[in-house]
Amino acid sequence: MSVVVGIDLGTTNSVVSYLKRGRAEVIPIDGKNIFPSVLSIRDGEIIVGSQAKARMMLSPETSVCSTKRDMGKDIAYDLGTEMFTPEDVAYYILKTIKEKAGSILEEKIDQAVITVPAYFTSEQREATKRAAERAGLNVLRLMPEPTAAALDYGIDQQRDQIIMVYDLGGGTFDISIMKVDKNEFEVLAVDGNSRLGGDDFDELICSRIYDKINDELGEDITSKKDKKYISALMKIRENAEKAKMDLSDLEEVEIIIPNLIDDYSFEMTLTRDEFNQLVEPLMEETIDKIYNVLKLANLTRDDIDRVLLVGGSTKMPIVKEKVRDSVKDPYVAPNVDEVVSRGAAIMAASLCVPETYDMAQINNEVNRTNEVNRVNEINGVNLDKKIIVKEKVVFTYGIDMLDENRKLYFRPIIKRGSTLPAKGAVLGYTSTPLQKSVVITIYRGESKSVKENQYLGELELDIVNVSEKNVPVCALFEIDENMIITFTSIEIPMTEEYRELMDSSGNDGGNMDVDLINKYLLEGKLKGKKIKIDAKAHLK
Ligand code: AMP
C-alpha cells in the first residue's frame, strides 16, 4: 500500500506530514518533527538532516545549508570531493525524507504535494519538481506555502472568511490574501520576496559582531580564507541565530564565543530593543508588502477577518507587534513550523482521492466500494469534500507588438487575476516582406508601455514560408497549476486549413482558440518553438 504525503521543503528545515484518519500528522524523522535542510559529506558519504547540521560546525567546507535560496540558479557548491547544485541538495533531502518516512509508516511513499514560496519563480518551481521526481516522488502539486498554511487552519472552519497569511521563514517571505469558504480556497492576491527571511536577520547580528571584532582585533575576518576564519564565521552565524531566537523570549542576551580565533574569545550583549532597531528595515519591507497586497486585492485592513502567522521567523515578537499595528492582532498556530506541511498533506490526500475513485469506477461496484473505503481509511478524507484551491495569476503576461504607427506596445495575453491553469494566444504578423525570423519579447506588467513592464525573455522563431506578404505568427502562453509558464510561438501557414483558427482571433487580433492550436500542435500539423519562462519578476 502507498501513502501520499505533504512536504514542506524549507530553507532551514523541512517537514513531512500525512493524513491519518482525517487529521494531518507530522512524521518524525530521526525522532524529530523538523528535518534540517542541510547536506554534508562525511568520509566520502553524503549525509543530510540533523547529522549534516551537526557536521556543519566541524566541517563547514564539506557542508551546505540554506540552498533553497539558490534554487533554479545555475550554480554548484564545491564540497571538496563533489559538486552539488541546489537541485541536487533538494534531491538528497527529499530522497532521505521519502525513505525514512516510508520506513516509519511501513508504507511506500511515491506521491507528494511539495510546497514552494508563493513567490518562487517558474525556474525555481521546475527545479523543485525535478528534484522530487529524481527522488522517486510523483509531484501531485507544487503548492504555495501560504495556501498550505491556510488549508491547515481553514479546513476546520465553518464560516466564510478573508484571511491574510504572513509567512516569514528562514529564507523567504510571502504574503497572501485568500478567501476561505469551507473546502474552497481562493487566492485573492500575493506578494513577497523570495530572498528575505530569518537568515537576513541573523546576518545583521553577524555584521554587528564582525564590527566589534574588527574594533578589537583590527582585522576583517570576513575577508580571510584560512580554515580557522571560515570556522569562526560558522560559529558566529550559529551564535547569531541562537541570540535572535533567545531574544524571542528574553529582553537581553549575552553572546559569548570562547576561543573564537586562537585564544581570542568574543563577548557582547544584545538587547531586544537593539535587535528591533537593527532589523527595522527588514520589518518595514514586509509591512510595505502588506499594504501592497491589500491594494492588489482591493481590500482594506478592516476586510481581513484573520491574519495567520506562518514560518519560524514569526516567533520574533517584533513581527507580531508590526502586524498588529498595520492590520490586526495575528493568530499564531500552535506549531507554526508544521502548518505548511500539514496543509500540504491535506491537499495531497484530497488530490489523490479522485484518481483512485475514477480507477475504482472502472471495476465492479464491490471493488469500487472497497477502494473508496480503503482510501477513506488511509486518508480519512470524505470523497464528497474535495478541496478546491483556486490560485490566481498575480501579474499580466504578454508580448510586445507593433501598432499601426509601427510603435511598440504591450499586448497582454494572460491577464492578472485569471484563475490557474490559464492560457491565451494572440495573432501577430511579420512586419517586413521576406522576413526570415521574428523575435517575440515577453513581459510581465500592467502598463501599456513595454518599457515600464518587466522583461522576462525572448524567443526567436525562424519563418519557414518566407513570403512577400505578412506571415501570421501566433504567441501562446500557458501557465499550469504549479505556476510553471510555457511560451510558444507558432508560424501559421496561410492556407484554407487554418482559416478557422485565424478567424478565432477576430479582426482585432484578439485571443485565439488555444485548444485548436494545441490540437494542431499535437497532430504535428503546426510546429512551434517553446520556452519555459523564468518569471524573474517574481523575485521582488
Ligand atoms: P522555517 O523556514 O519556517 O523553518 O523558519 C526558519 C527560520 O525561523 C530560521 O531563520 C530560524 O532562525 C527562525 N526561527 C526559529 N525559531 C525562532 C525563534 N524562536 N525566534 C526567532 N526566529 C526563529
**DSSP assignments along 283-309, one per residue:** HHHHHHHHHHHHHHTT--GGG-SEEEE
Copy the grid coordinates of residue 502. 485565424
Q: Indicate which residue's Cα is closest to atom 9 of ligand 1.
A: 170
The mean-pLDDT minimum among 143-152, 204-213, 357-366 falls in 357-366
- Among 244, 329, 251, smallest CA distance to 279 is for 244
DSSP string for 405-454: TS-EEEEEEE-TTPBSSEEEEEEEE-SSTT--EEEEEEEESS-SSGGGSE
Please give the CATH superfamily to which domain 397-532 belongs.
Substrate Binding Domain Of DNAk; Chain A, domain 1 (2.60.34.10)
**pLDDT at 149 exceeding the cut of 70:** yes
Over residues 509-536, mean pLDDT: 81
Scan for cell 562525511, then name that residue. 42
pLDDT at residue 181, rounded to an integer: 86
pLDDT at residue 236, rounded to an integer: 96
CA 210 to centroid of ligand 1, rounded, Å = 22
**pLDDT at 535 exceeding the cut of 50:** no
Q: Is the Cβ–Cβ distance between 266 and 246 less than 8 Å?
A: no
- Beta bridge partners of residue 292, listed in sequence order: none
Residue 23 — pLDDT band, cuts 50, 70, 90?
confident
Q: Indicate which residue's Cα is closest to atom 15 of ligand 1.
A: 312
For the ranges 120-134, 252-266, 431-445, the maximum mean pLDDT occurs at 252-266
CA 392 to centroid of ligand 1, rounded, Å = 29
The three-state secondary structure class of 353 is helix
The mean-pLDDT minimum among 171-185, 386-400, 455-469 falls in 386-400
153-197 pLDDT tens trace: 876 666 789 999 999 999 889 899 999 887 888 888 888 887 899
pLDDT at residue 199, rounded to an integer: 95
406-428 pLDDT tens trace: 899 999 999 887 888 999 999 88
**pLDDT at 394 exceeding the cut of 60:** yes
Within 115-195, where are the H helices? 122-134, 145-154
CA atoms of 290 and 269, how far apart (whole Å): 32
Q: Tell me which architecture the domain covering 198-276 has in CATH.
A: Alpha-Beta Complex (3.90)
pLDDT at residue 504, rounded to an integer: 80
Which positions ≥6 away from 187 have C-beta within 8 Å? Answer: 144, 147, 176, 177, 178, 389, 390, 391, 392
Q: Is the Cβ–Cβ distance between 247 and 270 less than 8 Å?
A: yes
Ligand 1 pocket test target in 7, 8, 11, 12 with most atoms within 8 Å of CB: 12
Q: Is the Cβ–Cβ distance between 430 and 438 less than 8 Å?
A: yes
Which positions ≥6 away from 284 have C-beta within 8 Å? Answer: none
**pLDDT at 383 exceeding the cut of 90:** no
CA 232 to centroid of ligand 1, rounded, Å = 22
Q: Is the Cβ–Cβ distance between 521 and 493 less than 8 Å?
A: no
Q: Is the Cβ–Cβ distance between 539 and 196 less than 8 Å?
A: no
Scan for cell 510555457, then name that residue. 486
Beta-sheet strands, E only, within 209-304: 252-261, 264-271
Task: Give per-residue burial for 232-243: e unless 16+ CB within 10 Å, then b.
Answer: bbbbbbebbbeb
CA atoms of 505 and 501, how far apart (whole Å): 7
- Which one is predicted more confidently, 372 or 484? 484
CA 262 to centroid of ligand 1, rounded, Å = 31
CA 313 to centroid of ligand 1, rounded, Å = 4
Q: What percent of the chain has pLDDT over 70?
A: 91
277-335 pLDDT tens trace: 999 999 999 999 999 999 988 999 999 999 999 999 999 999 999 999 999 999 988 88
**pLDDT at 404 exceeding the cut of 90:** no
Ligand 1 pocket test target in 245, 246, 279 with most atoms within 8 Å of CB: 245
What residues does each domain of the chain span? Answer: 2-196+286-390, 198-276, 397-532
CA atoms of 167 and 333, how far apart (whole Å): 12
pLDDT at residue 194, rounded to an integer: 77
- Ligand 1 pocket, residues with Cβ under 6 angstroms: 10-13, 169-170, 198-199, 241, 244-245, 248, 311-313, 315-316, 337
Q: Indicate which residue's Cα is closest to atom 8 of ligand 1.
A: 312
* CATH number belonging to domain 2-196+286-390: 3.30.420.40
Residue 1 — pLDDT band, cuts 50, 70, 90?
low
CA atoms of 142 and 129, how far apart (whole Å): 7
**pLDDT at 66 exceeding the cut of 80:** yes
pLDDT at residue 454, rounded to an integer: 85
The mean-pLDDT minimum among 99-103, 239-243, 468-472 falls in 468-472
Over residues 364-379, mean pLDDT: 51
The three-state secondary structure class of 401 is strand
pLDDT at residue 127, rounded to an integer: 93
Q: Indicate which residue's Cα is closest to atom 20 of ligand 1.
A: 245
CA 45 to centroid of ligand 1, rounded, Å = 29
Q: Which atom of ligand 1 is nearest to the CA of 197?
A: 10
pLDDT at residue 362, rounded to an integer: 38
Q: What percent of the chain has pLDDT over 90?
A: 61
- Beta bridge partners of residue 487, listed in sequence order: 477, 531
Burial class (CB in 10 A: 0-12, 13-18, 19+), 427: buried
